[in-house]
């Protein structure tokens, strides 16, 4: 469905995207993960024909985006990072404009109704886009991508700037769309990609760092050996006891969160789950554990882990 071959983009001397290749099968949801400035948007802009590539090829449905841009673009629904909304139009007239712009052949009224119902914007159809909340604007952005029912959807950071409830709504929507569309979705949030995508391509500094299934990736980045614990008791004693646990590599006392309750960062050897040991220590000294959670792995950690292939230390001072 989508085939990217050795795609490269230079801006002057700077390589924004450097020789990346990947394919997306029919009906697959591909997550494009990377920090800001990694080249996600640049890649998407090349796929949609907004900018040209310096070298390499992007094929949509077997059509080269540079050779036959109009036909290639007709297969794609695109939501750019900033949705291309005309603020002084109503939702309905804007979507009608997009319908005409894409020279859509579907029955107008029913298609329009389907799209608006799917994106849950039917109730604001007669309001000016500039008066809508960010969440509604984003959904109108998704709706314009859906007009014409294109087989490929390319969504650039569709949940950025939304509140948690809206994020869940958009994710549910994308999952539903993934059933009969091929979707590429970019994000810099790992959990988002994990929640929605079948497959993940991780991109960093313009090159692909990993291309894997979402479940396989999550296995790689489990953090059972890195925990944060809040324990009630005497700080020095706890620290000493925790350090005495077999297999711990690193223990650091953080701040006093509540009166008499301290937060600790504990890292054990990779693959060793030390949560039970911490509990055992606490029981032994009759301390109360008030919180125990795995440390989230940040995107930077994952890059380092995947690109350098090394296990990471926690509690780097610069992350505080």
Partner 1 sequence: MGAIYRREIGAFFSSSIAYVFLAVFYVITGFFFAMDNLAAGSANLSSVFSTMFMICIFLVPILTMRLFSEEKKQKTEQGLLTAPVSLTSIVLGKYFAALTMLLIGVSIVFIYGVILSIFGTVAWMTLISNYLAILLVGGAFIAVGLFISSLTENQLGAAVGGIVCLLLFFLVDTLAARVSVPWLQELLYYLSFYSRYYEFTCGIFNLSSVLFFISTTVLFNFFTVRVFEKRRWS
Please report, as ranges, the residues that interact with partner 1 according to CB under 8 A. 48-52, 70-71, 73-74, 76, 78, 80, 82, 84-89, 93, 97-98, 100-103, 144
Query: Of 100 and 273, which CB lies nearer to partner 1 in the complex structure?
Result: 100
d(CA 225, CA 142): 40
- Compute the least distance from the CB of residue 44 to partner 1, in Å: 10
The H-or-E segment that residue 248 falls in is strand 248-258
Report residue 168 as tokens: 């869940």
d(CA 234, CA 230): 12
In the structure, how many helices (H) and strands (E) does the chain have? 11, 14
Q: Which candidate, 115, 117, 91, 119, places its Cα nearest to that of 104?
A: 115
- Compute the least distance from the CB of residue 89 to partner 1, in Å: 8
- Compute the least distance from the CB of residue 66 to partner 1, in Å: 10
For residue 225, what are the contacts with CB-CB under 8 A and spacing of at least 6?
Answer: 267, 268, 269, 270, 271, 272, 273, 274
Return left, alpha or beta for 223; rule: phi > 0 is left, psi -120 to 50 is alpha, else beta.
alpha
- Compute the least distance from the CB of residue 263 to partner 1, in Å: 43
Query: Of 78 and 262, which CB lies nearer to partner 1 in the complex structure?
Result: 78
State the residue for tokens 């090159």.
207
Q: In what order do the strands lie in the sheet with 14-24?
A: 14-24, 2-11, 55-60, 63-64
CB 7 within 8 A of CB 58: yes
- Compute the least distance from the CB of residue 268 to partner 1, in Å: 48
CB 148 within 8 A of CB 167: no
- Compute the least distance from the CB of residue 58 to partner 1, in Å: 13
207: which strand partners? Answer: 204
Q: In what order do the strands lie in the sheet with 248-258?
A: 248-258, 261-268, 226-232, 288-294
Query: Of 142 and 193, which CB lies nearer to partner 1 in the complex structure?
Result: 142
- Compute the least distance from the CB of residue 279 to partner 1, in Å: 53
Query: Of 54 and 166, which CB lies nearer to partner 1 in the complex structure?
Result: 54
d(CA 184, CA 202): 13
Query: Of 135 and 148, which CB lies nearer to partner 1 in the complex structure?
Result: 148
């Amino acid at each position: 469905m989508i085939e990217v071959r050795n795609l490269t983009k230079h801006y002057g001397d700077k390589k924004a995207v450097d020789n990346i290749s990947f394919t997306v099968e029919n009906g697959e949801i591909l997550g494009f993960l990377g920090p800001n400035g990694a080249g996600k948007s640049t890649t998407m802009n090349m796929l949609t024909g907004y900018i040209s590539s310096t070298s390499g090829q992007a094929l949509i449905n077997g059509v080269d985006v540079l050779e036959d841009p109009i036909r290639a673009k007709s297969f794609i629904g695109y939501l750019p990072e900033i949705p291309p909304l005309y603020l002084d139009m109503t939702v309905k007239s804007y979507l009608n404009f997009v319908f005409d712009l894409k020279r859509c052949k579907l029955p107008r009224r029913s298609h329009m109704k389907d799209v608006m119902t799917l994106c849950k914007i039917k109730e604001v159809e007669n309001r000016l886009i500039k008066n809508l909340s960010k969440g509604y604007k984003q959904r109108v952005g998704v709706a314009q991508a859906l007009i014409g029912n294109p087989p490929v959807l390319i969504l650039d950071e569709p949940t950025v700037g939304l509140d948690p409830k809206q994020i869940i709504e958009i994710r549910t929507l994308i999952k539903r769309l993934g059933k009969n569309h091929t979707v590429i979705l970019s994000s810099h949030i790992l959990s988002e990609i994990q929640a929605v995508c079948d497959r993940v391509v991780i991109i960093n500094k313009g090159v692909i760092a990993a291309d894997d299934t979402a479940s396989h990736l999550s296995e790689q980045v489990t953090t059972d050996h890195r925990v944060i614990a809040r324990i009630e008791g005497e700080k020095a004693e706890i620290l000493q006891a925790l350090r005495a646990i077999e297999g711990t590599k690193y223990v650091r006392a953080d701040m006093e969160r509540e009166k008499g309750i301290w937060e600790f960062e504990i890292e054990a050897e990779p693959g060793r789950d030390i949560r039970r040991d911490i509990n055992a220590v606490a029981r032994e000294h009759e301390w109360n554990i008030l919180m125990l959670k795995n440390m989230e792995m940040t995107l930077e950690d994952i890059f380092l882990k995947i690109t350098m292939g090394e296990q990471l230390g926690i509690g780097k001072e610069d992350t505080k």
